[in-house]
Amino acid sequence: MRYLMRVFTVSIGIFLISPILHAVDKPNFILINVDDLGWTDLGCFGSKIYETPNIDDLAKNGMRFTDAYAACAVCSPTRAAIMTGRYPARVGVTDWIRARFQGGKIPNDKKNPMGWIGSKTNKVLCPKNALWMESEEITIAEQLKRVGYKTCHIGKWHLGADDWYPERQGFDENYGGCDYGQPPSYYDPFSNKRLKGINGLPGKKKGQYLTDRECDEALGFISRNKKAPFFIYFANYAVHTPIQAKVSLLDKYKSKINKLSSVKQRNAAYATMVESVDQAVGRIREKLSEYDLSKNTVIIFTSDNGGLLGPTNNAPLRSGKGYPYEGGIRVPLIVHWPGVIKAGGISSVPVSSVDYFPTICAAAGVALPSKSIIDGFDLKPLMEGKGSLNREDLFWHFPHYRGRVMPYTIIRSGSWKLIKRYDGKEYELFNLAQDIGESEELSNKMPEKIKELDAKISKWLKKTGAKVPKPNPNYAGNK
């Protein structure tokens, strides 16, 4: 009897402490995805204007990836890639999704648009873009919930309305995630003449800045879930338009810009928005420290596409958001992982948004979805300094006309980058190791390299089931 009581007591003890052991055993994850943040918009990535001491400290004590890429030059496709670990071409979201107020009406049959579109001025017909990411896609949140994680989405979702909100894709809590691609306003109650508020973020403190409010929700979630493993997708609406300054910081940046006449980043209001994100990162890290969670929390900091030309400048990279050049697709990436990454690490291995899903799943000890093809790679070997990735190429596919942007597919293979267009100049070839600014176009000098890379593109398009633009029979240029 004494033996049985002893076994019972030990069993109860194990049962009572098992949630704590579980929390220690599995790391927490905070994935920070800033909207439209450019590659050089951080101090640790070379900005002389924007002040980002908390993010810089992440890099100082973590790893900075110099050749990290968004999966697309615009937001929704990259966000789909982050959530699924799959190329946007495979998911079927290849352009930014129109919100309902922008004409993105949900069909009665709730089936995504199919077919092709194009005017007489377009040489090719392009596939209609999705209005949502299909529910069958498996997200990071859904995978982590399988092994006991609490999950929270904060900020911009932009992967569909209502039936496709974050809480329908594995998130326990959702603050701000809806079909909006940008906020109505950065000031509480986050409304404008057309839109009244943001889903999940009702007014609390009139005049409060949106980034601060998003951070408040993150701190609250951490406090409520400090004893269970958690995943926070902190998807800031900043620094997307409308460019609305955090007023308390504005005079500082106006003065700083006036004193530095040679710098190319000259928008003081935008600078305050960048610093608002940095302040949120600092507050989150303080909260983690308060609960002794810092050593067991992985922080991934990145952006969904390159910086928007006008509000910022991406030099030495060429161009910006929406364009196939490096300024449109190369983004900052910092990973802070105590015990795995040595402080001050730098990696120049090309990586992509599709890599976060398998990296997080591996770290959490959850298998990848058996019914989904995952395009990304686990980045932990890079972080540990144990080698490179068994991957030769990265791809992008944007089969749409957008302003001056023609439909295109891109491959980066080693230091070579080929842009293939379906209208206009067919090929542009660059050697990024020698020409990061893409100023010397080499297609006429290297036809064999074009042939080699174009063959890889064709193979990849077929492999992923990508929808490729096709000839427009009504194109005026044919007559």
Known catalytic residues are 75, 158
Number of helical (H) and strand (E) elements in the chain, helices listed first: 12, 17
CA torsion sign, 40 to 42 to 45 to 48? Answer: positive
Q: Which residues pair with 30 in a beta bridge?
A: 232, 299
Structure tokens at 153: 């989405």
Q: Is 4 helix (H, G, I), strand (E, B) or coil?
A: helix
Asked if 34 and 290 touch (Cβ cutoff 8 Å), the reply is no
Q: Is 45 helix (H, G, I), strand (E, B) or coil?
A: helix
Structure tokens at 411: 């491959």
Asked if 267 and 237 touch (Cβ cutoff 8 Å), the reply is no
Q: Determine which helix (DSSP H) or strand (DSSP E) holds 33, and give its type and residue range.
A: strand 28-34
Q: What's 218-277 look like in SS3?
A: HHHHHHHCCCCCEEEEEECCCCCCCCCCCHHHHHHHHHHHHHCCCCCCCCHHHHHHHHHH
**What does the alpha-carbon distance between residue 469 and residue 464 come to, in Å, rounded to a whole number?**
15
Asked if 167 and 233 touch (Cβ cutoff 8 Å), the reply is no
Q: Which residues pair with 173 in a beta bridge?
A: 152
Structure tokens at 77: 């496709």
Strands 470-471, 173-175: pairing is: unpaired
Measure CA 258 to chain center: 32
Strands 393-398, 116-117: pairing is: unpaired
